[in-house]
């Protein structure tokens, strides 16, 4: 496995490349969720490139940028064992200078849900993903449905900016008890972890209601709210797959999204229906 931190060096290395490139952008502290993306990308591409970059522009002032979990050595090992060909591991100064051009998230879908509680977050996400795509020029790029709004906005960027990369959507990996895997789970104490299980079980409640024919999104959200009432709820929303409001679940075109705070940790999850 080759490790490269300089974007221009990576571009130069890839210049004469004619291989099919699979790319998985991450912020490190790798877990089975990330590994599922690596496996899929490994199987379907000739060259597998993973980036580890804790992107400062997607963190708001006062968020956990400085204490975001870092596990550099373990991450390198996981990448190597997962068959990664190139690990792109830049520093912030390799990616950003001063007085930068940046992308703006769309004014509606970029500022609801996570974008409402973290205004500007998705500008940072889109800007860095755009930069990474320009450096790597991947054939396929892999993103998790766990970050459904991020995935939607990246797909929108690719479509609206006529980019050539194919976005592959990957299912959420969970612990055996249902908790969605996240790098931030390590912030949780044992008691908080138990509380956090209410998130996936609230989504199961929604799934059960829809299965029994209750499609009214107000009723579903109310039941979920009851289940999560001991936690600080940022949002519980039922939306169409293109992130427009829904009064009634449309099977095959709906997502219910949740974000809560457990202790000081923001956790998000969702279910595609
Ligand atoms: P992150 O390092 O948190 O920025 O995540 C990198 C990629 O892994 C993103 O596309 C995430 O959506 C995806 N990811 C994170 N957690 C999971 C999970 N539990 N299952 C599947 N994919 C995930």
Alpha helices in 57-168 (DSSP H): 72-81, 92-95, 114-117, 121-136, 148-160
Check pLDDT > 90 for residue 64. no
The whole-number pLDDT of residue 16 equals 86
Mean pLDDT of the region 251-264: 97
CA distances from 269 to 39, 96, 146, 157 (A): 22, 30, 6, 22
- pLDDT tier at 201 (50, 70, 90 boundaries)? very high
- In the chain the first and final C-alpha atoms are separated, in Å, by 39
Domain boundary assignment for the chain: 2-170, 188-264
The whole-number pLDDT of residue 17 equals 86
CATH for the 188-264 domain, from 3.30.1300.10, 3.40.50.1860, 3.90.420.10, 3.40.1160.10: 3.30.1300.10
- Give yes or no: 91 in active site: no
For the Cβ of 34 lying below 6 angstroms from any atom of ligand 1, the answer is: yes
CATH top-level class for 2-170? alpha beta
Mean pLDDT of the region 189-216: 98
Q: Are strands 254-262 and 232-240 parallel, antiparallel or unpaired?
A: antiparallel
For the Cβ of 183 lying below 6 angstroms from any atom of ligand 1, the answer is: yes
- Protein residue closest via CA to atom 22 of ligand 1: 144
Distance 230 CA to ligand 1 centre (A): 26
The whole-number pLDDT of residue 49 equals 98
Q: Which secondary-structure segment (H or E) carries 47? A: strand 47-52
pLDDT in tens, 158-186: 999 999 999 999 999 999 999 999 999 99
For the Cβ of 115 lying below 6 angstroms from any atom of ligand 1, the answer is: no
For the Cβ of 132 lying below 6 angstroms from any atom of ligand 1, the answer is: no
% of the chain exceeding 70 in pLDDT = 100
Residue 53: closest CA among 75, 35, 32? 75
- Protein residue closest via CA to atom 6 of ligand 1: 26
- pLDDT tier at 31 (50, 70, 90 boundaries)? very high
CA distance 90 to 125: 16
Q: Which residues of 88-119 are buried (b: 16+ CB within 10 A; e: fewer)?
A: bbbeeebbbeeeeeebebeeebbbbbbbeebe
pLDDT in tens, 88-134: 999 999 999 999 999 999 999 999 999 999 999 999 999 999 999 99
């Amino acid at each position: 496995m080759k490790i490269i931190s300089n974007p221009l060096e990576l571009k130069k290395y890839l210049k004469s490349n004619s291989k099919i490139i699979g790319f998985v952008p991450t912020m490190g502290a790798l877990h089975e969720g990330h590994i599922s993306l690596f496996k899929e990308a490994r199987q379907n591409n000739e060259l597998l490139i993973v980036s580890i970059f804790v992107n400062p522009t997607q963190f708001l002032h006062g968020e956990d940028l400085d204490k975001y979990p870092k596990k550099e050595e373990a991450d390198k090992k996981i990448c190597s064992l997962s068959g990664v060909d190139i690990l792109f591991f830049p520093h912030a100064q390799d990616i950003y200078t001063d007085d930068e051009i940046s992308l703006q998230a769309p004014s509606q879908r970029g500022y609801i849900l996570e974008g409402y509680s973290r205004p500007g977050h998705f500008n940072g996400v889109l800007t860095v993903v755009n930069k990474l795509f320009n450096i790597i020029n991947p054939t396929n790029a892999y993103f998790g449905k766990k970050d459904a709004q991020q995935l939607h906005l990246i797909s929108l960027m690719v479509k609206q900016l006529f980019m050539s990369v194919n976005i592959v959507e990957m299912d959420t990996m969970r612990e055996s008890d249902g908790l969605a895997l996240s790098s931030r789970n390590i912030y949780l104490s044992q008691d908080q972890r138990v509380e956090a299980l209410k998130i996936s079980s609230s989504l199961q409640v929604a799934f059960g209601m829809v299965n029994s024919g209750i499609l009214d999104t107000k009723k579903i959200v109310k039941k979920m709210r009851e289940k999560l009432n001991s936690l600080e709820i940022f949002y519980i929303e039922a939306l169409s797959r293109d992130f427009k409001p829904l009064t009634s679940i449309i099977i095959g075109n709906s997502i219910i999204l949740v974000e809560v705070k457990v202790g000081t940790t923001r956790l998000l999850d969702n279910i595609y229906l």
